[in-house]
Amino acid sequence: MAIRRGRGVAAINYPTGMNLGGDPTQALVHSTPTGNFMVTLSSVDLGQGMKQIMAQICAETIGVPTDRVVVDTADTDTGPHCMGTFASRGTHRAGNAVIQAAREARQVMLEVAAEELEVNASDLETDGQGNILVKGAPQRSISIFDVALSAHFKRGRSISGRGMFLIPRSYPEKETGAMKPSTCYAHACTVAEVEVDDETGEVTVLTVKNVFEIGRALNPKMVEQQLVGGSWMGISHALYETTEPYYPDRDHGGTDFNQYLMPGPGDLAQTEIIVLERPSADGPFGAKGPGEMCANPQIPAVANAVFDAVGVRIDTLPITPERILRALKAQASN
């Protein structure tokens, strides 16, 4: 009996969104009378940071500081249409819709500023700090605050825009059934190193090294946090989490979260994250969707590491000590 060490590798690709009816998302952007901007969506922030990213995308497109943008994810009765927050589609679909809406709002804003400065709108640019400048003559400028006041109370203009992102629908080929389910894919590779006690079946994950290709990290710190958390979740799926250990038999199933097994801080492996950026041609500023993918490659990597350590292949999740010991016993009897 011994502690055996193994290493496992797994690589995946993951589609961003889906291709059912074009997978549409809409967005609305408008300015308040004081030059702040409101983004209205029906896309829901589940904690992944969508509101922050949509604010950044809107601010970058219009040319204002991010703190001048408020994102309202109201509901499907009062907000513009969205297919939903799932399939790692939020940043890609909603982000593209926000860019369209923000561009339209920006154009109206520049037209009002042009009337105030008596120049052509094409001769204007933003400085990213809340001002609109004449190109080549920055001393001639007007604040976005003053432009918004003029639009609302003098010019009778609505600084607003509408956006909708709709991908070309792909229909299955009659002969082969082949279709294009997504316009862009994220990629990941994980290397997991484990120790397995071949007497008790207990698995200890020592290190998990992850490489994620996500298009472009629009907020690098938030991306890192999501990828680290997803890596831990992947380990939890691989080794711990189950509601019915003998499904469909409900015997010994957990009845509450006190009995639902998850790793604690002492069970988490040393985790390394590397982000590769290969911008997507149709992503907002090149972004893809890393949301669900970040918890996927750890599962087969851990399974492969267990196999490398003790020579048994566990193909049912979670990979519990009981299943490892049963597999070892079956292997020994052959």
Its pTM stands at 0.90
Q: Mind listing the pLDDT tens digit for each residue in 108-165?
A: 999 999 999 999 999 999 999 999 999 999 899 999 999 999 999 999 999 999 999 9
Which value, to the nearest 10 degrees, does the dihedral of the CA atoms of residues 78, 79, 84, 85 take? -110
Which residue reads 């997991």 in tokens? 192
**What is the pLDDT of the chain when averaged over all its residues?**
92
| Closest by Cα among 137, 134, 153 to 145 | 153
Q: Mind listing the pLDDT tens digit for each residue in 6-64?
A: 999 999 999 888 876 678 899 999 999 999 999 999 988 888 889 999 999 999 999 99
Percent of the chain at pLDDT exceeding 70? 99
Catalytic-role residue among 111, 173, 292, 322: 292
Question: So where are the chain's domains?
Answer: 3-16+182-333, 25-165
The contacts of residue 278 (CB under 8 Å, 6+ apart) are 213, 215
What type of residue sits at position 306? V
Average pLDDT of 100-111?
Answer: 98
DSSP label at 293? G
Domain 3-16+182-333 part of CATH 3.30.365.10: yes
Distances in Å between the Cα of 177 and the Cα atoms of 15, 21, 92, 180, 184 are: 18, 17, 26, 10, 20
Question: Does the active-site annotation cover 272?
Answer: no
Residue 260 pLDDT: 85
Let me know if the fold of 3-16+182-333 is the same as that of 25-165.
Answer: yes
Average pLDDT of 279-302?
Answer: 93
Domain 25-165 part of CATH 3.40.50.2000: no
